[in-house]
Amino acid sequence: MTRVFISRPLPDSVLAAAHDLFDVTVRPETSPLTADEMRTALRDYDGVLPTLGDMFSADILGGASWRCKILANFGVGYNHIDVTAAQAAGMTVTNTPGAVTDATADTAMTLMLMSARRAGEGERLVRAGTWEGWHPTQLLGMHLGGKTVGIVGMGRIGQAIARRCHFGFGMQVAYHSRSPKVLDFPAIQKASLLDLAGACDVLVIAVPGGNDTHHLINADVLAAMPTHAHLVNIARGNVVEEAALIHALKTGQIGGAGLDVYEFEPAVPDALRALENVVLLPHIGTAALEVREEMGLMSVRNLQAFFAGDTPPNLV
């Protein structure tokens, strides 16, 4: 029977579906795979279902003839897998697009509201027992209605965020992407990222991870933003130059930030955690049971199609 290795625990419904089809081994730990664990999985299993943080680099994938023929990634982002090296080693790579779109867009809106309305500060005030009651100038934040949201990357997730902003909050939408988009809502495409940064009240990052977007949001972009503007990142942590962001937040160069991802996660710098004008979430962008179930089932369907000799529905 086909042997499949699942790198971390997944929802019960996903594991049940996988066990119905394959001889499955589920690694009980929740941390990323070590180099030795990755090589063992590639050597001993026909397919591997990796997750975020399982760094299948060229160093891991090269230099041997592996039993594994498919990496069925759990997640839409796959910058932790060197796809070129995997293909050179005779492996197919798949992912789970679509399932994560709405959940990730909802998380972006959560961060936008929490950051703009200073909700994190307010909750800390109440929990500390130091709230002295309502008064007219307490924790004055920024109202999102009528403001301009700038979206970096207008793919599935970027468009889902834009729709929520435009139809739900009456915001103006601007964006920067590699090509013009045909959209079902009004939006202005900006010629450059700096133009976009300078024109928005909230800048939302919705680009894939990888070498092309590493430190895309740097000191120059942050300096171009208005001093009241907020930055929101639901993409990948290393898209933002974290040291430059900390400086911008400390010096009042921007008004605030909302982060679900971090450059060196799970490490979050003390300097970032000490700031009041940033909302910090523990990478919960898709952390809804229904979403994680669908992601897992998409991974299983990719495996099922591949081992049946068909083209997986979600080839990278």
- The string of pLDDT tens digits covering residues 146-166 is 999 999 999 999 999 999 999
pLDDT in tens, 36-45: 999 999 999 9
CA of 277: how far to CAs of 114, 137, 140, 176, in Å?
10, 17, 12, 26
Catalytic residues: 236, 265, 283
Instruction: Name the band, by pLDDT with cuts 50, 70 and 90, for residue 73.
Output: very high
Same domain, 186 and 259: yes
- Residue 26, beta-bridge partner list: 6
pLDDT in tens, 214-264: 999 999 999 999 999 999 999 999 999 999 999 999 999 999 999 999 999
Same domain, 157 and 243: yes
Indicate whether 266 belongs to any domain: yes
Judged against a pLDDT cut of 90, whether residue 63 lies above it is answered with no
Judged against a pLDDT cut of 90, whether residue 64 lies above it is answered with no
pLDDT in tens, 89-140: 999 999 999 899 999 999 999 999 999 999 999 999 999 999 999 999 999 9
Query: CB burial class (10 A; 0-12, 13-18, 19+) of residue 36?
Result: exposed
**Which pairing describes strands 3-6 and 47-49: parallel, antiparallel, or unpaired?**
parallel
Domain holding 105: CATH number?
3.40.50.720
Indicate whether 316 belongs to any domain: no
Q: Which domain holds residue 236?
A: 101-280
Contact in structure between 111 and 281 (CB atoms under 8 Å): yes
Instruction: Name the band, by pLDDT with cuts 50, 70 and 90, for residue 180.
Output: confident
Same domain, 151 and 256: yes
DSSP output for 65-88: --S--EEE-SSS--TTB-HHHHHH
Average pLDDT over residues 278-304: 97
Same domain, 126 and 219: yes
Same domain, 77 and 173: no
Indicate whether 121 belongs to any domain: yes
Indicate whether 301 belongs to any domain: yes
DSSP 3-state assignment of 155? coil
Same domain, 300 and 176: no
| Distance separating alpha carbons of residues 131 and 58, to the nearest angstrom | 53
For all residues of the chain together, what is the average pLDDT?
97
